Structure 1
Amino acid sequence: MCDIPDPTVGPDDVLVRVTFAGVNPLDNMIVCGEVKLIVPYPMPLTIGNEFVGVVERTGTQVTRFSAGERVYGRMPLDSIGAFAQFVSIPQSALEATPEYMNDEEAACVPLTALTAWQAYEFMHVAEGGRLFISGTTGSLGAMAVQSHATWASRCLSVVELPAGGACSTWGVTTFVDYKTQDYATMLSGMDYVLDTVGDREIGKEMGILKRGGILVSLRGTPNGAFARRIGLPWYKRLLFDAAGMRNDRLGHRRGQRYAFIFVCAAAARMARRYCISAERSRINS
């Protein structure tokens, strides 16, 4: 352990005393340098992307929170550091912690919930569309299934997991037992695929996607379209053009679209919508 200076609190910032911080695969990816082309974090670095805590004090322009409130959030991409006693974070990246969640539970929500919601909004899920979610036994996949509850009236979903009964109240219509079944031989004509596994499954997932469909990957290779969308410099755009060429070409040949996303920092409204959907799921379960 080491001591670091107390965080600076700007006019629009909230100083939060952290009670719990979530640990995610992303933290390990950052330490191993796997996302340095997307976010080049300087070392040494205090890591930690999501947390829950209590407001200590607020900046002069903060209107949404006051001292003593329970809050949770996902740290901005360029200033992570939730594995600390205190964090300073813009008020737009915070939400009030739902009363039905204890701190330990709430600390596991922001990063995965925001990622799932960003993916659904990027897909522009339409009424009656068919969505396939892979890898739902992982933390991200599991959150994607739960977050789907708000979309259930619009979309028929297929998920891949060992046993489907636990998700029957979340609007999912079909389950694939990945231990005994192969979705590639069972499914076709999907409008949307949410990939949480990565490149090794992209080919199979596109095989069940219809012409004109979209596959959004949370773990695959970033492509040039992603680099341009988030404003990376020209040399990184060229690099990601080359890196993502295989998946782009595979989609182009099939008349499909491949997209990679990396969760955005300022997405508080998605957290609010997750709280609504999670509360509905809790009540209906």
Structure 2
Amino acid sequence: MKAALHIKYDKKNINLTITEIAKPIITDNQVLVKVTAAGVNPLDNMISRGEVKMIVPYKLPQTAGNEVVGVIEELGSRVSNFKLGDRVFARLPLDHIGAFAEYVGVDSEALAKVPEYLTDIEAAAVPLTALTIMQALELMGAQAGKTIFISGGTGGVGGMAIPIAKAKGLKVITNGAAVNAERVLNLGADRFIDYKTEDYTKTVSNVDYVLDTLGGAETEKQMSIMKKGGHLVSLRAMPNGAFAKRMNLPKWKQILLGLAGRKFDKMAEKYGVHYHFIFVESNGAQLQEVADIFSNLEIKPSIDTVYTFDEVNAALDKVANGRSRGKTVLSFE
């Protein structure tokens, strides 16, 4: 079968090598998925550049791709929750990625059924982002009735975070460009802030939770609007010791990341809040919950560009260098 491989870590070259490899042989707990679409993410480029080696040290060559949609063609002997022909999607397990291939073997616990109203291309935009939100809310200990601030909620992350947070009973405040206000309010946001005309640090306070999608100087600004004891989860800042411990990384990595994230721990201490960093993991049960929420609301993820599998390197370049108004997806059809 054809697959796109990470051959070596290279900070200056994110290109993958398309080659023929053996079709996966599945274990008793896995299913064989014929890939129909795959989401293309900044994470794919970060892996190529060696930027996540500290968290997941892949043994190269490695089939690339973290986010998959496809049809089950073979079932492991212990798999009982799926059947042949099911249309499924997943954020693939960290230690077993490989969405950029004609087939992939997937642990059944990582999978969920694709909502019927979504095309394969649309479905490819869901798992990684949606699971990030679910796991961030879990890390926050988010409770219905409390308030969350989602920074930069007009992007792809916000497009999923807002309806999921609302489905969990949270009050949602977000900010972004005014041109997107109506769309964001239609997703369920309770309050929209135009970042050009309103400084949220002056007009928002007592927030219980923050989903930081921006990083940089915005992380501290967001801490300043929170209640004492609140929880901020960052998708863009720095891993810390608590993150390393949660990921069961070796002791030496816990020490290194503890030092790397110390600045953010200190910052959180200054504001009396909790700082968390997240690296999304596979979880079929959480993804199924998202699929059910989305089926009720019929949310359509926004898609920017669809490439063929042979154009994988153009897709990766688009994610690295192009301005996106939605998800970049590979189609295998």
4+ runs deviating over 3 angstroms: none
* Secondary structure of residue in 2 paired with 1:168: helix
Which of residues 270, 273, 289 in structure 2 aligns to 1:256? 273
Aligned counterpart, 2:116: 99
* Separation (CA, whole Å) in 2 of partners of 1:190 and 1:21: 36
Aligned counterpart, 1:157: 172
**Which structure 2 residue ranges, 5 or more long, are not aligned?**
1-17, 300-333
Which of residues 157, 176, 192 in structure 2 aligns to 1:175? 192
* Separation (CA, whole Å) in 1 of partners of 2:196 and 2:21: 47
Alignment of 1:199-278 (within 5 A): 199-265=216-282, 267-278=283-294
What is the CA-CA distance between 1:165 and the residue it aligns to?
Answer: 1.2
* Separation (CA, whole Å) in 1 of partners of 2:153 and 2:115: 24
* Secondary structure of residue in 2 paired with 1:113: helix
Give the counterpart letter for 2:285 in structure 1. Answer: R
What is the CA-CA distance between 1:120 and the residue it aligns to?
Answer: 0.9
Q: Which moved more, 1:102-111 or 1:159-168?
A: 159-168
* Separation (CA, whole Å) in 1 of partners of 2:184 and 2:297: 10
* Separation (CA, whole Å) in 1 of partners of 2:244 and 2:280: 13
| Count of equivalent residues | 280
* Secondary structure of residue in 2 paired with 1:164: helix
**Which structure 1 residue ranges, 5 or more long, are not aligned?**
none
* Separation (CA, whole Å) in 1 of partners of 2:215 and 2:124: 25
Deviation sequence 1:166-197 (CA, Å, 0-9, x none)? 12243321111223332222211111101111
Which of residues 129, 133, 136 in structure 2 aligns to 1:119? 136
Residues 13 and 146 of structure 1: CA distance in aligned 2, closer, same or farther (over 3 Å)? same
Q: Percent identity?
A: 46
Contact 2:151/2:174 (<8 A) preserved: yes
* Secondary structure of residue in 2 paired with 1:73: strand
What is the CA-CA distance between 1:124 and the residue it aligns to?
Answer: 1.4
* Separation (CA, whole Å) in 2 of partners of 1:160 and 1:34: 29
* Separation (CA, whole Å) in 2 of partners of 1:81 and 1:53: 13
What is the CA-CA distance between 1:97 and the residue it aligns to?
Answer: 1.2
* Separation (CA, whole Å) in 2 of partners of 1:181 and 1:85: 48
* Secondary structure of residue in 2 paired with 1:202: helix
Aligned counterpart, 2:9: none
* Secondary structure of residue in 2 paired with 1:179: coil
Aligned counterpart, 2:207: 190
* Separation (CA, whole Å) in 1 of partners of 2:88 and 2:243: 31
Deviation sequence 1:89-108 (CA, Å, 0-9, x none)? 01111111111011110111
Determine if the alignment matches structure 1 residue 56 to structure 2 residue 85.
Answer: no
What is the CA-CA distance between 1:41 and the residue it aligns to?
Answer: 1.3
Determine if the alignment matches structure 1 residue 281 to structure 2 residue 271.
Answer: no
Give the counterpart letter for 1:282 in structure 2. Answer: E
Give the counterpart letter for 2:265 in structure 1. Answer: D
Deviation sequence 1:199-238 (CA, Å, 0-9, x none)? 3311111111121111111121000011111111111111
Aligned counterpart, 2:58: 41
Deviation sequence 1:75-127 (CA, Å, 0-9, x none)? 10011110000000011111111110111101111111111111111111123
Contact 1:52/1:107 (<8 A) preserved: yes
What is the CA-CA distance between 1:40 and the residue it aligns to?
Answer: 1.0
Aligned counterpart, 2:37: 20
Q: Which moved more, 1:160-169 or 1:186-195?
A: 160-169
Give the TM-score of the pair, scaled to structure 1.
0.94
Deviation sequence 1:9-68 (CA, Å, 0-9, x none)? 000110000000001111111111111111111222221111111111111111122222
What is the CA-CA distance between 1:150 and the residue it aligns to?
Answer: 0.9
Note the aligned Cα RMSD (angstroms).
1.4
Give the counterpart letter for 1:253 in structure 2. Answer: K
Give the TM-score of the pair, scaled to structure 2.
0.81
Give the counterpart letter for 1:238 in structure 2. Answer: I
Contact 1:170/1:281 (<8 A) preserved: no
Contact 1:54/1:68 (<8 A) preserved: yes
Aligned counterpart, 2:49: 32
Contact 1:169/1:281 (<8 A) preserved: no
